[in-house]
Amino acid sequence: MAPRDEDIIDDIRHLQETMERLLSDFSCFRTPLLLGREYVWRPLTDVYETDDELVVRMDIAGVKPGDFRVTIHGRILTIRGIRRDPVKSGRRRFHKMEINLGVFERNIEIPDHIGISSMGAEYDNGFLVVKLAKTAGRSKRREQVVVPVNRGE
């Protein structure tokens, strides 16, 4: 007797959900026992150029403006911060956990034709947008620079 198509599809869905849960549990393991270091997650980020500038757009909803920092050192733009758990209650039993908490960091290489003389950042509605102006020649960057962040309303 051949299994019904619906049964096979249900089995595949169940297997998929189980694998997603197992992989998610492993990737969210935040103690140094397994990884040997602190777990640092990577927010979803878009990097693109317009005619005038390089734009970095990062999804960090729920992060307080004082809980992250934007710096440039050499040709690397670094965005590092922490998303804290807003729920301060005691014990919880999760049915699904997809929102990353804790320390995050992204390092984005800045092309030579992008300068830091004209830069800015804005954090609004959970998105951080960093804009760096293009320059006519190669830009030389040595020391670390902190990018000021404006909070949108």
The pTM score is: 0.71
Cα–Cα distance measured from residue 79 to residue 104, given in angstroms and rounded to the nearest whole number: 8
CB 81 within 8 A of CB 63: yes
CATH topology of domain 40-151: Immunoglobulin-like (2.60.40)
**pLDDT tens by residue, the chain, 153 residues:** 456 766 787 778 677 767 755 654 555 444 444 445 678 999 999 999 999 999 999 999 999 999 999 999 988 999 999 999 988 878 888 888 889 999 999 999 999 888 877 889 999 999 999 999 988 766 565 567 888 788 765
Cα–Cα distance measured from residue 124 to residue 149, given in angstroms and rounded to the nearest whole number: 10
Q: Which 3-state string (H, E, C) describes 60-77?
A: CCCCCHHHEEEEEECCEE
2 class by beta-carbon count within 10 Å (0-12 exposed, 13-18 middle, 19+ buried): exposed
